[in-house]
Copies of this chain bind each other. A is one copy, B any other.
Amino acid sequence: MASSGKSSSAKDISPAVIKRLPRYYRYLGELMENDIYRISSKELSQRMQVTASQIRQDLNNFGGFGQQGYGYNVEYLRNEIGKILGLDKENNLIIVGAGNIGQALANHQQFSSNGFHILGLFDVNPRLIGMTVHGIEIFDIDTLEDFIKTHDIKIAALTLPKSMAPDIAKDMVKWGIKAFWNFAPVDLNLPSSVTVENVHLAESLMTLSYRIHSLEEE
């Protein structure tokens, strides 16, 4: 599926491998920032605290980018992983909900450096509408349908209260949204053709609370 056409089919790749790819992408970027352009699977494994054999196995899924006795070409490998992740394509998104989390996402520099372009924020609050966050305008949520359709938006971050999120998400699917980055503390229950990545902050904090209290009792 990588757009180069050289790699193997994405359909054969396990979700566990896919989940590790963004981490490879991040590490390879750090290597480039430190002017390291070639790395062996052994060195990469020490840095990432993953076994060298796992790294070789993971990267073999995509035809393997390493050369015996040379190691991996860091920039080439990062670009290929970027293509697999779809980062070489236009990734326009909108943020629905311009509260604290929505605004923090709009202010986050890292997304644009990874090729994600935030085209607009949407909210119901008249005091917010018309303001800009990091150069991105906050629009009236009533204009959402039109905006999604005219800008061909496929990805939306959802940072609305849980009481509003599920209904609006259903509408947004009708208007063309295919992927939700859901920060609302609620399950969206959408058709399986829609992909949802949940970031349930309160739940991740509870997991931490569980672990710290069970450590204390050991």
Contacts and interface: CB of A to CB of B under 8 A. Distances in A.
Interface string A131-158: 0000000000000000000000011000
A127 interface: no
Contact of A212 (B104, B110, B195, B215): B195
Interface string A93-136: 00000001101110110110010100000000000000000000
B212 A111 contact: no
B101 A201 contact: no
Interface of A: 1, 10-11, 18-19, 21-23, 25-26, 48-49, 84-87, 89, 91, 100-101, 103-105, 107-108, 110-111, 114, 116, 154-155, 178-179, 181, 185, 187, 189, 193, 195, 197, 199-218
